[in-house]
Amino acid sequence: MTSMALAPRTALFLPASNPRAVGKARTLDCDMVILDLEDAVKPEDKDAAREAAVAAVAEGFGDRIAAIRVNAADTAEHGPDLAAIARSAAALVVVPKVEDAATAARVADAVGKPILAMIETPAGVLAAVAIAAEPGVTGLIAGTNDLKASLGIPAAAGRGGLSLALQTVVLAARAGNGWALDGVFNALADLDGLAAECREGRALGFDGKTLIHPGQISTTRAAFAPTAEEVAEARALVAAATGGAERFRDRMIEAMHVAQARHILERAGNVD
């Protein structure tokens, strides 16, 4: 994978065809904005959305990472999307329904930018390790809605049937030293449910979560942030470590635990 900065905790999808949403995104406390040219845009608005996305990333989103999601490889819009993004100021390209490493490599070469590959089908899950290993790929996104549909899991069912797929996405991303982002949560008014799914995602090893509404940002940001107790523990561990295997607060630690503690402090913005 292509190495980039610290993974985002909150990655907000929004229609590139909606100028009001694009403008509002510049005021939101999210880590990444993903301007969508795919599912959120009507067929008749695809050309205008593409132009609007290029213009929006040229204006910038402050310190937020600016990404554009292209239409899938089997659509007529895919080629024009890649050509436009290649000359744009987008930092990342989000590619839906990636099912093989060759597709990831082709898109990365075409745009000359790092890509986030969405794993949304059984074939994508089974190829996730190879996809994540591609030099132009900086991370994987679990496309949970499409995964549910392609696996025949009822939309109203929980995520139990996705457990193997979700863990595979995390394993593949980590094997490639890249980001792993969890899928979206559809129930906009259910913030308790969102928080629970975020906790589950963090427990699985995801760095953050993709979102579909600004109202989901604060809950997700808090859920994926290290707790005050974790930060205090990490700080104490780093300060106490002298190298090699040693005892710390009635448990054994070694270099691996120090690295984990430093990562917690980095996520919390407390690295000295």
The candidate with the shortest Cα–Cα distance to 105, out of 139, 133, 66, is: 133
Query: Top-level CATH class of 10-224?
Result: alpha beta
Q: Model pTM greater than 0.75?
A: yes
What's the pLDDT score for residue 1? 56
pLDDT in tens, the chain (272 residues): 555 578 999 999 999 999 999 999 999 999 999 999 999 999 999 999 999 999 999 999 999 999 999 999 999 999 999 999 999 999 999 999 999 999 999 999 999 999 999 999 999 999 999 999 999 999 999 999 999 999 999 988 899 999 999 999 999 999 999 999 999 999 999 999 999 999 999 999 999 999 999 999 999 999 998 888 888 888 998 889 888 888 998 899 898 899 888 888 888 875 54
The two structure tokens encoding residue 21: 């949403």
Terminal-residue alpha carbon distance, the chain: 28
What's the pLDDT score for residue 231? 87
Query: DSSP states of the chain as a string?
Result: ----SSPPSEEEEEETT-HHHHHHHTTS--SEEEEESSTTS-GGGHHHHHHHHHHHHHH--TTSEEEEEPPPTTSTTHHHHHHHHHTS--SEEEESS--SHHHHHHHHHHHTS-EEEEE-SHHHHHTHHHHHHSTTEEEEEE-HHHHHHHHT--TTS-SGGGHHHHHHHHHHHHHTT-EEEE-----TT-HHHHHHHHHHHHHHT-SEEEESSGGGHHHHHHHHSPPHHHHHHHHHHHHH--SSSEEETTEEE-HHHHHHHHHHHHHHT---
What's the pLDDT score for residue 227? 82
Q: How far is Cα 218 from Cα 221, in angstroms, rounded to an integer?
A: 5
What's the pLDDT score for residue 148? 96
Cα-Cα-Cα-Cα dihedral of 71, 77, 79, 83, to 10°? -90
Domain boundaries, the chain: 10-224, 228-268
What's the pLDDT score for residue 226? 87
